[in-house]
Structures are given as C-alpha cells and as structure tokens.
Structure 1
C-alpha cells in the first residue's frame, strides 16, 4: 500500500496515455514534454512498485500483465476525477469535455452519424469520440461513457435508458414476388428462398404469431446465409429472397419501395423476448451532464415511435 501512495495522479495519467497510444513519443507530443521525461516517469513507477509495467521495443511499448491491471485502476481513478470536476461544473448549462460513445457499426452509420453535426452545434464545448463495434465491451475497462446496444438487455451492472423498441418486418423485393408469388403462411416460406443471418450462435430462427397467439419458431434456408445484415438486405433488394430484419435497418428500403412487407397478418421477431435499442452506462457512475445531454438529444431526434417506424 505504501508503494501505491507514492504514485502521483500525473504519473497514472501518463501511464493511461501510454497504454492508449502505445508510444512514448506520441504521448510526449500530446503532453508537450520530451519522450525521455515520459519514459523516466514510467520507470520511476516501476521502481516504486518493484514490477515491470511495459515491454519496450523500437516500434512500440506494450503493457505487461501488471501494467494492464494498473491501467484498469488508473483509468477508473481518472474517470472519477473527471466526474468530480464535472460535478463542480454541473451548474453550467452547456455540457463540456470529451464523451466517449460506443455503438454498433451499422446502427451508428444509419442513425448516429447523420446527427453528429447537429449534436456538435448544439453543444460546442462537447468533444465526441465515437467508436463503432458490434463486440461486447466493458465500459469501465474501455473508458466508455455511453454504450448504444441493441437486443435483449440483461446486464444488471449497467443502467439503461430505452431509446426505441426494436421491431421486425418480414420483407421481400417486388421482383421476387413477381416471379414466385406471395406465401400465405409461415409454413409456405419453406418453399421459398429465405436469406438468414448466421452469427456466433448459429443460424437465426424466425418467430411468427397471429394476434395474441403463442410465438412459433421456424428455421429456414435459402440461397444465401451470412453474418452481415447489410449484405443480406442488399441481397433481398436484388431479388434473392425473403429477409427478416429490424425496421431501423430496412425502413428506408421499405419507404422507397425497394422492399415490401410480407405476411402482414403476423407479428415477427428473432427472439421470444422484447428487444430494445438502449443507451447504457455503468451503475457505478453518476449520470453526468454530458451523458444525459446526449441521451436526451437522441431521444428527441428518434422520437416515439422512432422515425424509422413511421
């Protein structure tokens, strides 16, 4: 414990920066100091802790296991200090500082990117850092302020605000219908080409129900199975078969007539549980002014129901 008491906030901040950028020289440039000063600060930390924090070579520096562990705690300390500073400035009306947002790739392209300019104009003191990935991330370890995630929300370690409900439609192109006709029931789809999403858990099942009946699962096959929703959507538009996707993805194609709804008497989904598009942040953090502002902005822009469902 005595060794940790000798670590300064400045040294921890430099360690986090080196871990993020993988370079003494890059951190030195950003911090307006010499690379040797940055390197010497890390060496002093290693001497105090009596353990190696970084592997050094001519191209980059990489964290050791001890360095990664200390980096996680150092990031939390930096975040807590940042939250404390924000709390002192909470009386100011305009959100300020860097906000780190992580969102799914395609959803961010469709429904975040078009609004970023207006968000920046509304809050000029806000610095937006947007990372796009479909992989799960730990917001505490990855220093993320706000996660946008889609599906069934189950992680109790995160607070959530629902931005929109995720609704599905079974769709097909007019050209496919002209050639093969419209099925009259889910069972009839077995005689058609279905374009099925296949992820790490296998091929997606499609669920159908009429009115308040019990959901019925179906497994279909067709000319194309894949793990990219945009590719499958484009294949459906070109006339390869039926697809079942959320309205935020296919809403534009429906409005433009590139796709039409099929089996409109049925409700459709890819799971038995309700799915949402949600804004998530860690339970351990106070909802900061900047995070609240971004969530409220998105809620205002998406509307109820969301504009892609209108």
Structure 2
C-alpha cells in the first residue's frame, strides 16, 4: 500500500472525473488526451493499490466497491486542496468587494458605526452595506455576509465568533435616587419606578442573583414601557426611574455619573441563560477573506474584556 503515497494529484483528479462521468472517452475529450491514456493511468492506479476500481463495459464504466470508497476520500482530498489554494490566493490579496452586514440598531450606532472609517481606511478596496434593525432576521434566508447578534446563541446553521459577553447593570440617575431613595434589595424595587424594555416577546423580566444563591425574578411596575432602548435610557437620565440594560449601552453614562449602578452586589440579567455578542456567518468550509478581515478587525477593536466593560463603574 506504500505505492498509494506515490499517486499524483493529477491522477486522483482523472480518477474522480471518470467516477463522475462514468466514461473514459468523455474525460479524455475534456482533458484533450486519448481515452487509452486515461485507461492506462487508471490501470496503473489499480496495480498500485492492488484493487480493481472500475468495471469496464462497452457503453459505461462503473465503480467497484473499492472505487466508490477511494472516490469518497479522493473527493475530500481534492476539496481540501482547492480550499487551501483559495486561502493561499486570498492571503496575497487585500479584502475587497462589498460586504453585507446586519446588526441591532443601538449596538450598530454605538459600537460599529464609530469604527467604520478606520475599517475602510485599513481596507480601501472594501465597501460596506450596513443594515441595522431590531427585527428578527432569519440567518438562513438573509442575504447578509455577516450578522452581529446579541443574546442566547443557538444552532441556526450559522458559524460564529464570540465578540464579548453580554453583561447587565441596574441603574438610575442621581436625581431619581435622591428623590426616591436607593433600593438595597430586589424586593424593594416594588416601591420604585421601573422603566421596562418591551420587545417581540413581551416586557423584559429582571432577574437577580446574590453571590452563592439562585437567580430570582421580581415583579416590576413603572410609568414607561417601550421597544427602544435609547429612549428608555434617556428617560432614566431624565430621572423617571430605573433601567436594567447591557453595559455596552449604558457604560458611558455610568462612567460620567449621569447614571449610577444600583444593587451593585447583585448579578442582574434579563435571562437565565448565558448571553453573548457574536459575529455570525453562513456555515461552510471556507470563510471569505473579507468576512474574516472584518471579524478580526472588530475582535481586535473590542478587546477582551470588551472596552465598554473596562475601568469599572
């Protein structure tokens, strides 16, 4: 079987071509060589392997069981070689062409749009089509090359790369806390004004966990519900009540003091499942250079931990 290692890639390609077409003559016509030359090379393969690969008939050539088995592995080898060749070719090139990106509205405004000028300066042959929406986009039907998604990741037929963890804070303005008092436990939120995000699945639930204890949900009430996170954040800045939002949205307000973290000893979330910020792309063996370059750019830009979680607040 050592002779198997001596089979050339060219011979493997001819073998797979015969397997696909079931004809020496058709492969010979496509390759511009004689049928006898194709037949001779297949015979040399069979001699090297000690296995008959084809049954020869007057009108067709059919694979034996050994031929089908070799064909399965030969196709994988040739596909991997083609992929390697494409990757090497792209390595010598610059990312170029249009890349279609879909992202949530607020996250796109705060953490994608501010970096686009640098991205385009780094890759001047790249053009970006950025669509921002909080509506559900089916990743299997969407035409986008890259989707930024936030939440609990599931198996959607997409591949992805985690960009950052989704962390939450409960917060209110100093004006509101001076007027209404500072809640010391989640139970005391029943006496406070809570500003609730209401998405496609209904009003947001608030979960709390003290170190060493289980997550618990608490009843909420307040003067405002809405489906726009920035509007609710502005209401909190204006002293209307408390909000519970991810740090990527309110970190700057927490740092400059216009919002203050409430119940800092508690972990807070709107879900009992781990949430992530991720870049998703259609499944497949080969990731295009432009998509890989954009993902790598944002991975480096966000950092680990993400820049919005650095510094404390």
Query: Under a length normalisation based on structure 2, what TM-score does the superposition of the two structures give?
Result: 0.70
- Provide the secondary structure at the position in 2 that maps to 1:149: strand
Pairing 1:219–2:207 present? no
1:88-113 Cα deviation digits (max 9, x unpaired): 84132421111111101111000000
1:165-197 Cα deviation digits (max 9, x unpaired): 010000000001111110110000000101111
Which residue number in structure 2 is paired with residue 199 of structure 1?
199
Query: Under a length normalisation based on structure 1, what TM-score does the superposition of the two structures give?
Result: 0.70
- Provide the secondary structure at the position in 2 that maps to 1:264: coil
Q: Structure 2 vs 1, CA of residues 89 and 263 (structure 1 numbering), >3 Å: closer, same or farther?
A: same
Pairing 1:149–2:131 present? no
Pairing 1:242–2:235 present? no
1:127-157 Cα deviation digits (max 9, x unpaired): 1111111122234533210000100001331
Distance 2:297 2:219 in 1: 39
Distance 2:84 2:125 in 1: 18
Judge conservation of contact 1:204–1:219 (CA < 8 Å) in 2.
no
Which residue number in structure 2 is paired with residue 172 of structure 1?
172
Distance 1:220 1:128 in 2: 41
Judge conservation of contact 2:139–2:156 (CA < 8 Å) in 1.
no
Judge conservation of contact 2:140–2:156 (CA < 8 Å) in 1.
no
- Give 1:84 shift: 12
Judge conservation of contact 2:171–2:259 (CA < 8 Å) in 1.
yes
Q: Which moved more, 1:127-136 or 1:229-238?
A: 127-136
Pairing 1:297–2:310 present? no
Judge conservation of contact 1:185–1:263 (CA < 8 Å) in 2.
yes
Distance 2:250 2:150 in 1: 15
Map residues 259-274 of structure 1 onto 2, 5 A cutoff: 259-274=259-274
Q: Structure 2 vs 1, CA of residues 211 and 178 (structure 1 numbering), >3 Å: closer, same or farther?
A: same
Pairing 1:210–2:206 present? no
Judge conservation of contact 2:139–2:158 (CA < 8 Å) in 1.
no
Give aligned pairs, total.
228
- Provide the secondary structure at the position in 1 that maps to 2:90: coil
5+ residue gaps, structure 1, are 1-82
Distance 2:104 2:185 in 1: 33
- Give 1:87 shift: 5.4
- Provide the secondary structure at the position in 2 that maps to 1:102: strand
- Provide the secondary structure at the position in 2 that maps to 1:90: helix
1:61-119 Cα deviation digits (max 9, x unpaired): xxxxxxxxxxxxxxxxxxxxxx9997584132421111111101111000000000000
1:49-72 Cα deviation digits (max 9, x unpaired): xxxxxxxxxxxxxxxxxxxxxxxx
Distance 2:194 2:135 in 1: 26
Judge conservation of contact 1:198–1:226 (CA < 8 Å) in 2.
yes
Pairing 1:161–2:174 present? no
Judge conservation of contact 1:162–1:278 (CA < 8 Å) in 2.
yes
Distance 1:116 1:290 in 2: 14
